[in-house]
Each structure stands twice: as structure tokens, then as C-alpha cells.
Structure 1
């Protein structure tokens, strides 16, 4: 009788939880963000956010992934204390219910402002650490417009961010963060070293797009540093310009097992940001809205795109500033329906949308919209036009109604919505490619819009994300800071080696 073979115990996969809350919060906007805006996913549905964690993908099979709670909101105003308490409390409760963990992937944006907190992500991760323990390995993934304080580096074992603006590598970055965590757990290696350099530069994303120099070259150096022996990951954060907190500034973190390598890499990247500070420029030609309209009307290029930048909802603007649309509708060129076709996206107005929906397509209506949240620059706008189309069920807008006012086609929304995709327009029976002008509340054009634009200018308009940072009036950022102090002395760009999470954080919070 053959001898029975010994039963081999299956190799256990590491247990990794996924959790995070993400939003850009403008402290210069009067808007407030409530819990439903985060559209939180819970439990197994968290994994559905990430294509690389679908069944059958190698990374999915490399660990036992367990979703806790992940919520991502459109950029907006400060998060209310009640909303944060509700979401963070549930997130931590769900983590506790998952049992012992080997790792946590902390998926955040990095620019969330909460009433009463100066560093919300640190507060959240510190509370998570209390729940899961100091020995669980944490990999943090962020937007490059997030803020990286020393305590956030301390509480993270691995930390990385996007390398492109616009963020065409968002999912690639998240996958890198997850894979680095899996690899570290599989290797059994000690926690990596973390070299952090705060850089006293605070610029808007529209001045630091990686489509153009100098950001293109500054960020190209990240891959060079990452490729060095002894380095696991490298990252540069531009920081978030439209919040007024001590943590708001650029930063560099390089992680890896070799102290000399991570130190040299971090200092190289930090010098690259600092040395380029005077060369950062807007990603497109800029001007007043009036100048942009004049140039667009005089040009042959069609469609001509204009960014209404000051109220950009994807930078944190309230989205309902009427200043730009008021100036457009006041132009004599657009009074007649046979004038140049202008698409304007967009203006929230719940009652205006209700009126248009009730009247129906083809009806002439008079509605009032906008300035319910941010009325500092212009009041509510009343307009009369023909209902062109209606659409229900949008994730962000809820219901959209299109109104033709003269030759201006205005998209009205129940709730604010960014218009980044060609399908955002075509789904409303609009063709941006055949319009003369397309005016969008946005900063730099997202890829779909950029590909459509025959020409483009950025209008420097007022709002909660005004591109004139000095005009906004920061009072709490660390000074000196470029460009607020253009003649400042050269800063200390020495890399700080930050202690691992299971040891006390020492040193000043620079």
C-alpha cells in the first residue's frame, strides 16, 4: 500500500485592507461638503473601483484584499465636522471588523480640509493606526496636488503620487502603491527608509502642468530617481494652492532600503522644483474674460475653448459663480440666435432645472440660477431661453437642462458638475466640435477637451479658486513661500529621514 503523502499547508496570502477619503477642499470657497458627496463604497464593492483588482488579475490574486470604506468627492468646499465624523467613524469601525491585517492601502487625495482640523489626512491615518496597530504596513497613494506633512510621512510606510497633470496616470499610480505594498510584504524586508523634503513653493496646477516645461522635466526626473539602486519609489507633490493651512506647499518623498540613495534622490528632486520656480508658467495663454472673448471671436480656429478658471469645480470652486456667464450673455455678438454658437458649461440652479423640465423641450422659459453658494462676485442670474434638452440621472449633476439664450447654449444643473468629456456634451444633444466657442469652468483642459480644441485660452476670472494666489489672501501658510515672497533666501533642502510608524516621530514640524 503506497505511503500517503504529507498534506502541505497552502501558502497564506497577506491580508490587505483598502480605505480612504479623498477631496480637494478650497478654504477660499464658502461652500461646505457633506457626507453624501463622497459617494462612499463599502466592503467588497470597494474593489470594483480598481481595474487591476478585478478577479483574475495578478495583483488581485497576490493578496486577500478587503474593502473597508473608500469615498471620493468632487473638489469642493471645506468638509463639515459632522460629515467627517460620520465617514471616518464608519471607516474605522469597518477596519476593526476586518480582523488582523498585514497591510493597508490608504487611497486618498491629500488636500481634504475639515472644519477644526489643519491636517485631516494625518488625523484620519492616526486614528486608523490606533485601530489596526503600528506594525501593519501602510501604503499611501495620493494626487500630486495633495499636501505631505512630516506626520503623514511618519504614519505611512510607502507613499506615492501621480506624475502627470492632467492626471492620466491616476490608476497607474494606485496600482503602483498597491503593488509596492504587496512586494514589501512578500519580501519580509524591514520597513523602507523615507526621505522627505518640504519645498517652500506653492503654485496652482495650471502653472505646473507636466504637458509643458519646466514641470515636464522636473517630473521626468522622478523615474530616474526611482530607477536607482536602493530606491523603491519617488514622488513630487506640487501641493494644493487653494487652501490656507500650514501644510500647503510642495514636497518630495523618496522611499527605499538605502539611506544614501533615498537621501540623494530626494534632494535632487527638491532642487529641481526650487530651481525651476521662476520658470513655471500657465499651461495656456491667459487674459481677462473680455480679452479671451475678443480673441476667440477674431480667430478662425473652431472650436475655440476658453477656461473660466476662477470657479473651476474640479479645483474646489463652488461652481455656481455667475460672473463669467453674466459677461458672456451681455456681449452684443451673442444676443441673436443666429450669432456665434457658444456652449457654456455650466451653472447650478435647481429651481431653474425644475422649471425647464416641467416646461419641456422646445418651451421658452425664464429662469434664475446661480449664486446660491458663492454670491461674492455676482448675484443670481435671470435669463430667458428655449429648452434644448434634458437629461436625468447624472452621478454628479443629478438632472441637467440645456437652455438656448440668444446664441449661447447654457448647461444648467441641479448639482454642480465638471464637464471634462466629449460625451458630457453629446449626451445632451450638443456637438462641441461644431461650436464656435466652448466655455468651460475648468483650469487646464482635460484630455478629451484638449484634443477637441483648435485653440485655447485661460480666462483669469474670480472665484474660490482664483489663479491669482496672492490676491486670494493666504494668512496661515508657512512663510517665506514662493511666489508670496519672491526675494526669499534659498531654503534648506536637506532630506529629513522620517521615523517609521512604530517609532516616535522626532524633529520639528517644518
Structure 2
């Protein structure tokens, strides 16, 4: 039997609709043709999956989370995906397609953009090609999307330490369907769950998400089931599809439906148990605790969570840094704390620092060029401590130390998340020796989590505000927990068996 031909395509960007920033096409760093396959090490030459199929890259684009994608950017990238698939099909028959997406991408003037993209793809590849999707657990799964897919799965860990494992599973499931059950399409059971929570309340490190996600492989191991998945959903966008969901796929109707309902009930039953992954407070409350913490609690990390660039924040909200600069601890004469702030974009400030050079004192202004809803640009006078060029996200980074302080502020050409120890040490900073590290993030990524002797989550303003009620959702389906508290009647958590459809549905997305 010849190896199946599998195309690879997808666009991914976790998108907040509550930030004024916008995302353009270059932000997706598109990979095309063989390069679109080469970014996945489990498809490297000689690996089992690489040998099992003939992988043909169309286009893969992954943007740093941010504001809505410009419609022109989406049309440009979606059109190229379609054209590349058409070119591939002109040369050979496609048996399968791996659809690598996030699930929370929002395009200007377009709802459910992943379903729209898949509809365009299906119009090219037709109904017979088997399509498998891999997604972030913070994605959204509409009925329309499931209708046009054959297989679908998502991460089972938050933080997402299993990202590559999930993508590999999506590809393996696809290969197995094509080679072991040719011509047979999996049964899909979908259950929408009316819960919408921020990721910082649903980390799989902690209960109740820990035991809920631990149940996923137990369902998947049942006879007749191929894959099981739970989506938390994405809380910082305002579309009707934003909510939690469960999808189970397999070969036996009763098993698939029962497995989906079991996971949905487990999630719903635990709804009141979800809590933040760390102690929370206002920024001042968190800094009070950090500055008075004993030495055994240093470094003390504080999450400036409202402007987290890896959740969709613009990254240039200055409110947190402005409040930090007002603290008397920074300028006291004795026992001055060493504080690191990561980070604030300021292209002009970066250029001035580069021109001046390390060791020089400069006065620059940065931030609030995109999101000035909470505070305006901030002006800093201080020494240039470090300069680094060539970063993938930031492009150029500089470290400024305001006069009379032991505060080190990272200023970037473009916004950047700070998740790894090397992000700091390559700037001559020593986060393990700092007293306080204030970083724009929600839950701490693994390396930061391991570094932190103690930690608090500051409930700060921004496009990914953890206090969802402050954002003003108007389009999500109601009732929705926790927006509406206790429901008058329990939600319908019965499994919806979803047949394959290559057309976008026009009926209600229940």
C-alpha cells in the first residue's frame, strides 16, 4: 500500500478583542513548503511518522498572542494556503490534512475564523480528505468547526509542556485512520460546557483542573475510543463560541458519547472549585508582600497579569511600571532592593540607548504607543546597563537602571514574553539573585516557576484582565459560569453526535 500523502497547513494566534493592538501578516512568520514540515521534530527524516506518510507543507503561520488580526492580513495568508493546496493537488492526490491551529484566533469582522479557514480549505480538498486538527486547550471549539473535521485534539497541560506531544498525537491519529481504517470516518461527540474562565484559574498543576485532565487518558483508553479532549476555552475574546467544550472521537457510538458526557459532567461539577494558581491581590498588595518577604522568599516573582503578551495583551501597557516607580522602597538609602521589570516596548528608547552605548545615562520615553487606555507613556532617566540585538521577538533589547535605584527595566524594540532564565541572563541580569522580579505574565512558565521562591499574581488592568467582569463581554452565550452564578436549571451536557459536513453550518451553534 503506498504511503498516504498528507498536507500540512494552519494559522495560529491567541487573540484578545479587548486590546486596541492589531496583528499583521508578517507577525505569523509564515513557513512554506518543506519549511512548514521542518519545524516539527517528530517529522524529521527517519522518525516513524516521517516514514509513515508523505508530508507536504502548504503554509504554517504562528503569531505571538495579541490583538485582532487585520482582515487584509488574514485574507492574504488564507488565500496563500488555498493556492498552495491547489498547487499540491495539481501534482498529486491528497489523502489527509493536518490542520495545526490554536483555536482562539480572531479576525476583524469575522466570527469563528478557524472554521472559516477550514471551510476555504475544504472547498479545495473536498469531502474525502481526512482532516486532523491539533489545538491549544485555550482554544474554542464550535459545532461548525467539528462538523468539518474528522479528528481533533488539544493540549492536556497548562502550562503547555505537551505542545509537541499533542501535535504528534494529532498526526499519528491521522496516519492510523488512513492506513488502518481506510475509507472509515471516526464518530465525533461534542459537548459545549457553559464555563468561561481565565487560564490562570485552570492550570493543570492545580486542582480541580489536575484531576479533570487526569481523566482524559482514562476515557481515551476505553474500547472504541480514539481520542478525548477538553478545552477550557479562551476568556479574553468576545464571540459566541467562547466557552469550554469536550470532544471525543472513536469508532463506537455509545462509547464516544458516554466518554464525552463523562468528561463534561466532571468539568461542570467542579466549576465552583476553580481558583487562581497563586495568591492574588492588587499590584500594591503584591509589592507590599514582595518587599517585606524574608530572604528565603527571594526572588519573589510578581505577575503583571493584565498585559501578558502570551495571553493576548499588547505588551505596552505602562500602568504596572508606573505604579512600581512610585514605590519608596526603590529609592531608600539602605537595603535598597534589586528589582527587575520585564518589559516595556519603546523603539525610540531602544535606538537612543544603542546610540549612547552601555554605561551612558539617557532620558527616554517608552510604552503606551498602542494601549494607552490605562496609563500614558513613561519617561525614564537612567544608565544603559546592557544591549542585546537579534532577538526573534524583541529584535533589540536594552536594560535601563533609573537613577538612584537598583531597578532594572527591560525595554524592547518589539514586545516580547520573558519565560526563560536565559531571557534575563543574556542581558547580564541575575534573576535568581534579585529581590523582586515583576514580569508580564499570568501563571509562571516552568523555568520561572522553578526560580521563584515565592510568587503572587497581581490583578492589573489590560487587554487580558483577570477580572473578566471588568472587560465587558456582550456577545458570549448566556447563561455562562461564573458570569451568571448559579443557573436556574442545569445545562444540557448530553453528547451531540456530529456528522462530517464540508459546508459551514447556518443553524444554531447550541
Q: Same fold (TM over 0.5)?
A: yes
How many residues were matched structurally?
Answer: 500
* Number of the residue aligned with 1:302: 298
* Number of the residue aligned with 1:48: 38
- In the alignment, does 2:479 pair up with 1:480? yes
Instruction: From the superposition, tell whether residues 456 and 335 of structure 1 become closer, same or farther in structure 2 (CA, over 3 Å).
Output: same
Instruction: From the superposition, tell whether residues 486 and 171 of structure 1 become closer, same or farther in structure 2 (CA, over 3 Å).
Output: same
For 2:507 and 2:20, locate their aligned partners in 1 and report how far apart those are by CA, in whole Å.
36
* Number of the residue aligned with 1:362: 359
* Number of the residue aligned with 2:307: 311
- In the alignment, does 2:443 pair up with 1:444? yes
Instruction: From the superposition, tell whether residues 475 and 505 of structure 1 become closer, same or farther in structure 2 (CA, over 3 Å).
Output: closer
Contact 1:140/1:177 (<8 A) preserved = yes
Contact 1:157/1:501 (<8 A) preserved = no
User: What's the offset of the Cα at 1:505?
Assistant: 5.5
Instruction: From the superposition, tell whether residues 503 and 391 of structure 1 become closer, same or farther in structure 2 (CA, over 3 Å).
Output: closer
- In the alignment, does 2:379 pair up with 1:382? yes
Instruction: From the superposition, tell whether residues 38 and 506 of structure 1 become closer, same or farther in structure 2 (CA, over 3 Å).
Output: closer
- In the alignment, does 2:331 pair up with 1:335? yes
For 1:317 and 1:170, locate their aligned partners in 2 and report how far apart those are by CA, in whole Å.
21
Matched ranges for 1:79-90 at <5 A: 79-90=69-80
* Number of the residue aligned with 1:5: none
For 2:309 and 2:243, locate their aligned partners in 1 and report how far apart those are by CA, in whole Å.
21
For 2:58 and 2:248, locate their aligned partners in 1 and report how far apart those are by CA, in whole Å.
28
* Number of the residue aligned with 1:281: 275
For 2:501 and 2:214, locate their aligned partners in 1 and report how far apart those are by CA, in whole Å.
30
Structure 1 residue matching 2:67: 3-state secondary structure: strand
- In the alignment, does 2:30 pair up with 1:36? no
Moved more, 369-378 or 337-346: 337-346
Residue among 313, 333, 346 paired with 2:343: 346
* Number of the residue aligned with 2:428: 429
Matched ranges for 1:446-465 at <5 A: 446-465=445-464
Structure 2 residue matching 1:47: 3-state secondary structure: helix
Structure 1 residue matching 2:225: 3-state secondary structure: coil
User: What's the offset of the Cα at 1:282?
Assistant: 0.2
User: What's the offset of the Cα at 1:190?
Assistant: 1.1
For 2:435 and 2:73, locate their aligned partners in 1 and report how far apart those are by CA, in whole Å.
42
* Number of the residue aligned with 1:265: 259
For 2:164 and 2:381, locate their aligned partners in 1 and report how far apart those are by CA, in whole Å.
43
Instruction: From the superposition, tell whether residues 504 and 330 of structure 1 become closer, same or farther in structure 2 (CA, over 3 Å).
Output: closer
TM-score by length of 1: 0.97
* Number of the residue aligned with 1:121: 114
Unaligned runs of 5+ in 2: none
Instruction: From the superposition, tell whether residues 502 and 345 of structure 1 become closer, same or farther in structure 2 (CA, over 3 Å).
Output: closer
For 1:427 and 1:60, locate their aligned partners in 2 and report how far apart those are by CA, in whole Å.
36
Structure 1 residue matching 2:493: 3-state secondary structure: coil
Cα deviations across residues 39-82 of structure 1 (Å, max 9, x unaligned)? Answer: 01000011121110001101101000000000000100000001
Cα deviations across residues 246-290 of structure 1 (Å, max 9, x unaligned)? Answer: 000000000001000010000000011111110000000000100
RMSD between aligned alpha carbons?
1.2
* Number of the residue aligned with 1:211: 205
For 2:267 and 2:28, locate their aligned partners in 1 and report how far apart those are by CA, in whole Å.
32
Instruction: From the superposition, tell whether residues 502 and 354 of structure 1 become closer, same or farther in structure 2 (CA, over 3 Å).
Output: closer
Cα deviations across residues 227-264 of structure 1 (Å, max 9, x unaligned)? Answer: 00000000000000000000000000000010000100
Structure 2 residue matching 1:70: 3-state secondary structure: strand
Residue among 52, 55, 58 paired with 2:48: 58
For 2:251 and 2:506, locate their aligned partners in 1 and report how far apart those are by CA, in whole Å.
20
Instruction: From the superposition, tell whether residues 260 and 506 of structure 1 become closer, same or farther in structure 2 (CA, over 3 Å).
Output: farther
For 1:503 and 1:472, locate their aligned partners in 2 and report how far apart those are by CA, in whole Å.
34
Contact 1:329/1:335 (<8 A) preserved = no
Structure 2 residue matching 1:282: 3-state secondary structure: coil
Structure 2 residue matching 1:25: 3-state secondary structure: coil
- Give every structure 1 segment of 4 or more consecutive aligned residues whose post-TM-superposition deviation is greater than 6 Å: none
* Number of the residue aligned with 2:466: 467
For 1:336 and 1:371, locate their aligned partners in 2 and report how far apart those are by CA, in whole Å.
28
For 2:328 and 2:457, locate their aligned partners in 1 and report how far apart those are by CA, in whole Å.
22
- In the alignment, does 2:155 pair up with 1:156? no
Instruction: From the superposition, tell whether residues 332 and 205 of structure 1 become closer, same or farther in structure 2 (CA, over 3 Å).
Output: same
For 2:503 and 2:80, locate their aligned partners in 1 and report how far apart those are by CA, in whole Å.
27
User: What's the offset of the Cα at 1:487?
Assistant: 2.0
For 1:225 and 1:506, locate their aligned partners in 2 and report how far apart those are by CA, in whole Å.
32
Contact 1:135/1:502 (<8 A) preserved = no
Unaligned runs of 5+ in 1: 1-10
